[in-house]
A and B are shown apart, each in its own frame.
Chain A
Amino acid sequence: MTLAPSTEERWLALIARIRSRDQEAFAELFRHFAPRVKGMLMKAGSDAATAEECAQEVMATVWNKAAQFDPARASLATWIYTIARNRRIDMARRAARPEPEDLPWGPEAEPDQADALAFQQESRALADAVRRLPDPQRKLVEQAYFGEMSHTEIAEVTGLPLGTIKSRIRLALDRLRREMTRP
């Protein structure tokens, strides 16, 4: 009996194809995420034209940096969110914000598939928890993340179940460090 691949497995397969420069896979990703990036930027206060232009740039960055996506540390949605977030901050400041050093997987090494899948399932569980937040709370979290800064309620975010995700990222980083120091 063969099981149908999960949503997570399908996303991982899609990004793998994009890494090998598959434009059809990219088009599929674009159709799903570009309108959401545009929606996110408009919630952050962008006008439609700016959000449109910016969403295109974000998706082009996804294509260019596909090799740097690490499925043992982020979901595809999270990775795309960070690209859009960085773009939003850089635009607001008219300068590139200092970002932590990249720790990507090179083309010759891949993260463990089981780790990646376990991480993706954990991300799914978090996404469900975010979805279940009562409306007012969810609005506050959205304001904090999408640019309408609200410091007083930032504690709401830290109430989410992030422990497992954090430990998994930490393990993935340890593995990555070992890989990077290998001669």
Chain B
Amino acid sequence: MTHDVTHTLPDELLLAYGTGALPEVFDLVVATHVSLCDDSRARLESFDAVGGALLEDTAPMAMDEGSLAACMARISDSPAAAQRPARRPGIFPEPLRKAVGGDLDKVAWRPIGMGARQAILQDTRGASVRLLSIPPGAAMPDHGHRGLELTLVLQGAFEDEFGTYRRGDVEIADEEIDHMPRVLGDETCICLAATSDRLRFHSLLPRLAQPFLRI
């Protein structure tokens, strides 16, 4: 289920997500990828361990008098512990399912030509998150990028000059990358793609991208 992911997220991006420093637009891609890739999850959770160590060592600030009592009152009305969540059918891990309001059948697709479709989930001043559906045999026109772009495969596969990408794999591209992704196999390729606004993140992104893109 999660063992064949070959293109994972680099430590820098996982750490930035973990601490909340990553531009918001990439959060959904990271959360969805981590749900599909145990290697990335293990690295993300190991970064959290540093946060735990810092918390343990933080100088305690006295809580108000009656604080424990107030919290006890709060918890005594709360229901019993949650059960293990049921695994749901479909191709969307939980964070994406939440963002869409369901699985593939709930996506509001719009045609974008040549049989391809997209559904924009979020678009704020040029920073966007969208689902893409590209039919078998299709190739995206050769294109460059504004800012950083993360593309996560959810179904099917595509390839470009940098490799082959299947379910769970993320391709990382930026201003320096021009590529022409082509759908592999006979299954429609469904991807989640997030693109940042170049102006807003101009100084941050090259720094994040540098160690793994070697730009």
B83→A123 contact, CB < 8 A = no
The CA-CA distance from A105 to B41 in the complex, in Å, is: 16
A38→B50 contact, CB < 8 A = no
Q: 8 Å CB contacts to B: which residues of A101-159?
A: 101-102, 104-109, 123, 126-127, 129-131, 141-142, 144-147, 149, 151-152, 154, 157-158
Convert B28-40 into 0s and 1s, putting 1 for each residue whose CB lies closer than 8 angstroms to a CB of A.
1011101100110
A169→B207 contact, CB < 8 A = no
**Chain A min CB distance to B174 (Å):** 16
Assuming A23-B72, A35-B61, A181-B1, is B81 touching A77 (CB within 8 A)?
no
B56→A100 contact, CB < 8 A = no
- Chain B residue numbers with a CB within 8 Å of A66 are 81
B83→A40 contact, CB < 8 A = no
The CA-CA distance from A84 to B79 in the complex, in Å, is: 21
B58→A39 contact, CB < 8 A = yes
The CA-CA distance from A38 to B55 in the complex, in Å, is: 10
List the A residue with the shortest CB-CB distance to B78. Answer: A64
B42→A169 contact, CB < 8 A = yes
Stretch at the interface among B15-23, B150-158, B162-170: B15-23
A88→B35 contact, CB < 8 A = no
Convert B1-32 into 0s and 1s, putting 1 for each residue whose CB lies closer than 8 angstroms to a CB of A.
11000000001100110011100100110111
A123→B52 contact, CB < 8 A = yes
Assuming A38-B61, A60-B71, A98-B95, is B21 touching A85 (CB within 8 A)?
no
- Chain A residue numbers with a CB within 8 Å of B11 are 158
The majority secondary structure among interface residues of chain B is helix
B81→A145 contact, CB < 8 A = no
Task: Sample 6 A-B pairs with CB under 8 A, ordered by A number.
Answer: A23-B76, A31-B68, A52-B64, A100-B95, A109-B84, A129-B53
Q: A34-B67, A98-B28, A160-B50 are in contact. List 13 more A-B contacts (CB 8 A).
A: A27-B68, A40-B54, A60-B78, A65-B82, A66-B81, A78-B52, A81-B52, A98-B30, A98-B31, A100-B93, A129-B53, A141-B54, A158-B11
Interface residues of B (CB under 8 A from A): 1-2, 11-12, 15-16, 19-21, 24, 27-28, 30-32, 34-35, 38-39, 41-64, 67-68, 70-72, 74-76, 78-85, 87, 93-96, 98-99, 204, 207-208
Interface residues of A (CB under 8 A from B): 19, 21, 23, 26-27, 30-31, 33-40, 42-43, 48, 51-52, 55-56, 59-60, 63-68, 73-82, 84-85, 88-89, 92-93, 97-102, 104-109, 123, 126-127, 129-131, 141-142, 144-147, 149, 151-152, 154, 157-158, 160, 162, 165-167, 169-170, 173-174, 177, 180-181
